[in-house]
Amino acid sequence: MDTSVLISKVSSANASPDKIKYIGGDRIYFSRKIPDDLALELNRLLDMDFSKSDQNSLVKGNLYLEERLLEIHEQWPGCVDPYMALFKFYFRVVRYQEAERMVWRLMTLLSDRNQFCKNYRLLKPCTTNWLLHDSDPRHFLFCLKALGVIRLRRGKVFLAKKVLSKLEELDPNDEIGGSNFLFIARSFDE
């Protein structure tokens, strides 16, 4: 999915019957259980268009988006989507350390809620059903992918390989889509 999603204009005609929006065929929310009020708030933000703005307006728009996303996150602290929206936002605006911090916060929430270790290095395929559709463990795997990609962008290739290798172990059929990033990380060894 394009990480510029948060400032892309999305028409209301793009909304699916279950209030989940799509951009270019990609689902922009991760949870099918997203509360109606939360979907409405996120949709309002996604409907904003800063793409034709000058640099000053773009910066102000991004500050506004961050402020609103943080407020939304505070209002729905147990929901997956505000965390993911925030770490994608931070990634898009090249604030990788904050993106990584938000990924870790979501991994902590998901692991605590499902009583498995947040230390991904200790996880095994038998720890839980990782690939159950629309589940916290599956969202945790998306976090591992995000963590690997963020680490790659930060130049932390060794750490990216570690997390993406664990993702490959927990998702051997690559349903989450981390294998291409692991391939990129491994290419630095050549």
Residue 116 DSSP code: S
Question: Which CA distances in Å does 81 have to 44, 48, 77, 88?
Answer: 14, 18, 10, 10
| pLDDT computed for residue 92 by the predictor | 86
Indicate the residue type of 98.
E
Mean pLDDT per 10-residue section of the chain, whose length is 190 residues: 29 36 49 80 73 72 88 92 90 93 97 94 95 91 97 96 97 95 91
136 vs 87: CA distance, rounded Å: 17
| pLDDT computed for residue 185 by the predictor | 95
| pLDDT computed for residue 28 by the predictor | 55
Closest CA to 159 of 180, 189, 185, 122: 185
pTM of the model: 0.80
